[in-house]
Structure 1
Amino acid sequence: MSPASRHAGPILHLRGHDTDGLRLAAILIRPESEACGTLRAGTTELQPRRIATLEGLAVWRFDLRLDSADRGYRFEDRDYPVETDLSGDLRFAFLSCNGEENGDMDRDPTERDAMWERMRAEHEARPFAALLQGGDQIYADEVTQGHPLSDGWPEDLPESTSAADLGGLAAHLRRGFVARYMRGFAGPAFGALAARVPTLAIWDDHDICDGWGSLPSEAADSAVGQTLFRVAREMYLLFQHGAVEADIPEIFADPTGAQLGWRRSLPGVTLMAPDLRSERRRRRVIGEAGWRLLETPAPEPERTFIVSSVPMLGPRLSLVEAVMWLWPGMQKYEDDLRDQWQSRAHRADWRRALRAVLNLRARGPVTVLSGEIHLATRAEMAAEPGAIHQLVASGIAHRAPPKGYARGLGWLGSLGEGPLSGHPIRILPLPGMRRRYVAERNFLTLERRDGAWSAVWHLEESGKTPPLPI
């Protein structure tokens, strides 16, 4: 790691909100030999707690509370403003796919983080109250390279593994994960945002490995696969939530940690995200712990945003699955298609999820936020008393796929889909656009102004879309 990437923070994580204000965690990452100063929240001086030491780095955490009068905190002689009055106008940012499968560590930071710089400018113009991260915050696909046990995984499985060998593999994987997380945290735009905007993150496959959960069971359940998942989970908790295993009951909906979905209630709005990776199998998207989160409404659901790391309202990808075996070479995309709610293998799960969203819609407006596909698009599902919106913003750092890919998905989207009778799904163009899918890097802003919500996509080439009322 370069010297610059051995320091990160403060990074804020949103723990909750109640009548006493915002509950936050702030983490600092520094070389083990360096001390960490104190943090002042209001009139309270807080001491840091070291929650982890790895790869020569110490991870420190402050647990703090800010009421609406505090307007921020002070750390090591520097003030950091934070939006603490959440009762009126409100603004969120949503992003996904912060990296690429191959060579991401070697990219020019100016090119890679260009959309982060735009997001920072948006925050400086009108501050965000929360930063919602929809999956693939890192691309860990290459961490298995360079170790004899995992070099050929998932296709090649070692015939035997000892505890010592697996311990060596875990150390190798941990180094790779730490380097990738620190690369992301070292970016000046991310750092400026994360120190001032509390984040909430859900993971997706690349935070573990490409296609995790849709891989053959013999690979996922192997000693190598389980070591990879265990290390990825440890790193996800630490870097994306500022947490360790003991913190799980406080942070996540399932106190056992079998499912890392979460729910947060803010004034007039509920944010929730089922974990679509921890319980996933080739014929299952989530298990019963995940269903409990998705099927249990919030006490006061004035407005619900659901983060689904893969799009919940999508085109008829089952048609592609049905014919992919006719073309040589198409089989390599089987795991990508199996990853989607719309896969033929997940039809029952998909219907159950849509019924759960319809039940939430009966209690208040519902918007699904999704990423994963490296494109921008939107969809609606017919419902009473009004449509359910899905907003897809994918690829804040991942370069856009070819325009032909977007046109092909647009053709599938034109066919329509209706897995639940009476509730057709339509894939629709973004405001001001002709095509259903836009192949540009992008992120999304969500805004409540005078009680009304709207969404704006920020596209790398086309700029901002007109606001979409939701």
Structure 2
Amino acid sequence: MTENQVCTPSRDGLFGPFLFARGSDGTITRLAALIVAPEGAKVPELRAMGRDLVTPEKLATLFGRSYWRFDFDVPAIPDANYSFGNETCRVCAEMASDLHIGFVSCNGQEDGDLDRPLEDRNALWSDLADQHEKRPFSLLLHGGDQIYADGVWQCHADIRAWKKARRRQKLKTAFSDEMRDAVLKFYLDYYLTIYDQPQISHMLARVPSLMMWDDHDIFDGWGSH
């Protein structure tokens, strides 16, 4: 990785930008950038093509963090760009011709996912970045299992107890507000933990993403048992 190698570290508690594809008519490409910041913190400016100041929309404030979305347009050209704070990211926004698409899936493993050195865990992300440097991707298609969230079963004592209970007892157990908050916080924290890793955040800031779920995004086997 070379130009703008680290565009998205968690500076002062900031996460992102995480770039998403919103559509294109062949002339204009519509994008959205997600920024996560500490509650009450000033969010740096985002400008499209170095000039158009984008006003963000606050999506939510949860567990001490605010989630902001910047919706903006860029010309559908190979060398579009946007800036966030003092850093600029190039975006291949040409989507009218044959698309050069990067495909990713199964971003992790069930056991010990965060125990590995990041260089090993994210070796394929680094390879993807090298390919992007040589021939930029216009779209990053995520085929599911963006995270391996099986640790959700350990995020609260009542959830651990529910998982061990017999089926009849499970059906009688209410999903309390405390359990709901623990689950939501687990997912939010885990996504940020994974997406803030430099090999991943590098690509998520430069290539618009389009994502679908599989099972591990929720837990192993979701939808089948």
- Within the candidate set 73, 80, 91, 1:71 is matched to 80
206, 217, 224: which one aligns with 1:196: 206
Structure 2 CA distance for partners of 1:205 and 1:187, relative to 1, 3 Å: same
Show the counterpart of 2:25.
18
Determine if the alignment matches structure 1 residue 186 to structure 2 residue 196: yes
Residue 153 (structure 1) shift = 4.6
Q: Which amino acid aligns with 1:105?
A: L
Query: How far is 1:19 from its partner?
Result: 4.2
Q: Which residue matches 2:4?
A: none
Residue by residue over 1:233-262, the C-alpha shift from the partner in whole angstroms, topping out at 9 and shown as x without a partner, is: xxxxxxxxxxxxxxxxxxxxxxxxxxxxxx
Report deviation, 1:35.
1.0
- Asked if the contact 1:13–1:25 (Cα under 8 Å) also holds between the matched residues in 2, the reply is yes
In 2, are the aligned partners of 1:11 and 1:191 still within 8 Å (CA)?
Answer: yes
1:62 equivalenced with 2:70 (yes/no): yes
Alignment of 1:58-457 (within 5 A): 58-68=66-76, 71-88=80-97, 90-154=99-163, 156=165, 157-158=169-170, 160-162=172-174, 166-215=176-225
* 1:214–1:74 CA distance, 2 compared to 1 (3 A): same
Structure 2 match to 1:48: 56
For 1:374-397, what per-residue CA distance to the aligned partner results, in whole angstroms no more than 9, with x for missing partners?
A: xxxxxxxxxxxxxxxxxxxxxxxx
8 Å contact 1:5–1:182 — kept in the other structure? no
Question: Contact 1:149–1:158 (CA<8 Å) still a contact in 2?
Answer: no
Q: Deviations over 1:200-230 (max 9, x none)?
A: 0100111111111111xxxxxxxxxxxxxxx
Letter in 2 for 1:61: R
One-letter code of the match for 2:32? A
Unaligned runs of 5+ residues in structure 1 are 216-470
2:214, 2:171 → 1: CA distance? 29
Tell me how far apart the structure 2 counterparts of residues 5 and 176 of structure 1 sit (CA, whole Å). 21
Q: Are the counterparts in 2 of residues 6 and 182 from structure 1 also a CA contact under 8 Å?
A: no
Conserved 8 A contact 1:38-1:48: no
Q: Distance in 1 between matches of 2:96 and 2:171?
A: 59
Question: Are the counterparts in 1 of residues 21 and 208 from structure 2 also a CA contact under 8 Å?
Answer: yes
Name the SS for the 2:158 alignment partner: coil
Asked if the contact 2:29/2:95 (under 8 Å) is kept, the reply is no
C-alpha distance 107-54 of structure 1, shift in aligned 2 (>3 A): farther
* Structure 1 residues 161 and 44, CA gap change in structure 2 (3 angstroms): same
Q: Distance in 2 between matches of 1:191 and 1:74?
A: 15
State the alpha-carbon separation in 1 of the partners of residues 57 and 203 from structure 2.
23
C-alpha contact 2:145 2:217 (8 A) present in aligned 1: yes
2:3 equivalent in structure 1? none
Q: Distance in 2 between matches of 1:50 and 1:135?
A: 26
In 2, the alpha carbon distance for the partners of 1:122 and 1:67 equals 23
**Distance in 1 (alpha carbons) for counterparts of 2:177 and 2:92:** 43
Alignment-mate amino acid for residue 69 of structure 2: R
Unaligned runs of 5+ in 2: 1-9
The DSSP-based 3-state class of the residue aligned with 2:207 is: coil
Q: Distance in 1 between matches of 2:221 and 2:29?
A: 36
Alpha-carbon deviations, 1:177-214, whole Å to 9, x = none? 12210111111121111111000010011111111111
Partner Cα separation in structure 2 for residue 87 and residue 17 of structure 1 = 8
Deviation at 1:89, TM superposition (A): 5.2
- Partner amino acid for 2:21? L
Q: 4+ residue runs of structure 1 moved beyond 6 angstroms?
A: none
2:155 and 2:55 map into 1 onto residues whose CA distance is: 40
CA contact under 8 A between 1:5 and 1:186: conserved in structure 2?
A: no
Q: Which residue of the partner structure matches residue 30 of structure 1?
A: 37
